[in-house]
Amino acid sequence: MAFAMLILAISLALAAGNADAASQVPAMFVFGDSLVDPGNNNNLKTLAKANFYPNGIDFPAGVTGRFCNGGTVADHLGNLLGLPLIPRFSDLSTNGSKILQGVNYASAAAGILDDTGKLFGDLFSMDEQIQNYQKTHEELKLELRSINGGVVEDFLRKSLFFVCTGSNDYLNNYLFPLSTKPLKYTINAFHESVIQQFTRQLKSLYDLGGRKFLVAGLGPLGCIPSQIGSSSKNLSACVETTNEISSQYNAKLKMAIRELNDNLAGAHFLYWDIYTPTFEIIRNPTRYGFKYAHKACCGGGRSKGQILCLPLLPFECQDRSQFVFWDPYHPTDAFNAIVAQQAYQGKLQSKDPMNVQQLIQL
């Protein structure tokens, strides 16, 4: 019941735009994939877009391009920080004063590696997202100077940089059917390649003014409906080999984050272990108010994980709050609300800062 009340309160705040809450950070800049994409792919030539019903069925703004029935984890985290919905970079109106509380650059199907997700069509890879942020960086200089002579370095030092990427480098690259990557790389060598690229990208954001970073690891990818539905195993069991790959990557990312903190002056990188809380919710769904942990709310095929959520499919899940997963790949608004709260005030690591609330106070 407590979790249900929490979700209701957060949803109501999102619906109201959180207009009365004081912002705890000047801005939040979001980078990543479809888990946090607010619609940046809407006008691209790509199959990786969600600007159609029933996506957004529970979102105050309706259909926006979010791969969710409601808000993404970035939306919920921003709400907890007292920020309005962060505008998408690809919206032509995202300029001037609209960039002063942050910009979201995330792109569905994108990954850390440049070739990830390209089979779906156009997208903004992580490197391209950083290039887009560079444009915002220049605009911020002019905007802050025109308002009060503000210095962009001070503004960015107090802002939050949220990076949520990596899933597609495995699901839609190394593990994708007919992929040639396993012929070229052992899984360990592939991990090293991804981590090396990602470390360079995080350093680039640091060089462009970022100082407070929340960096999400991979969830238990073997537990998403797409993996379960395509597996020969029973429909109530995660694919352990895929989960092991997630765990291996996370261990290497955690080590890389530690090195960044040690080597970059003034940097505060907070590693978010999203794997553990997600696996806990999937293993004990009723404890968190869920009924269905292994099948999607919207989709088709086994576990509704083999066909994407499309308008032409029968839409049968009337109570979306009972589902952990909205579609074959993405969680529901209810799930996003819970884990965003955990990131904000939970315990993400054993030493300070342990959560986002503590990170932004540094």
Q: Any idea which residues carry the catalytic annotation? A: 34, 327, 330
Which pair of tokens denotes residue 132?
A: 């887009």
Instruction: Report the alpha-carbon distance of residue 65 to residue 294 in Å, rounded.
Output: 24
Instruction: Report the alpha-carbon distance of residue 305 to residue 334 in Å, rounded.
Output: 19
Distance set, CA 266 to CA 28, 46, 209, 305 (Å): 18, 39, 11, 43
**Cα angle 69, 88, 59; round to 5:** 20
Parallel/antiparallel/unpaired status of strands 292-296 and 323-325: parallel
In 3D space, the residue among 15, 16, 78, 42 whose CA is nearest the CA of residue 341 turns out to be: 78
Residue whose structure tokens are 């009340």: 5
Instruction: Report the alpha-carbon distance of residue 57 to residue 150 in Å, rounded.
Output: 40
Which residues contact residue 23 at a Cβ distance below 8 angstroms, ignoring those fewer than 6 apart?
Answer: 81, 82, 83, 101
Instruction: Report the alpha-carbon distance of residue 229 to residue 296 in Å, rounded.
Output: 10
Instruction: Report the alpha-carbon distance of residue 195 to residue 112 in Å, rounded.
Output: 9
The CA dihedral of 169, 72, 298, 121, to the nearest 10 degrees, is: -40
Residue whose structure tokens are 């080999």: 241
**Cα angle 67, 71, 74; round to 5:** 95
Which pair of tokens denotes residue 1?
A: 């019941």
Is the backbone of residue 39 left (phi > 0), alpha (psi -120 to 50) or beta? left
**C-beta neighbour count of 259 within 10 angstroms:** 11
Please list the residues that pair with 272 across neighbouring strands.
216
Task: Determine phi and psi for 45, rounding to 5 degrees.
Answer: -85, 90
Interhelix angle 2-16/73-80, nearest 10 degrees? 80
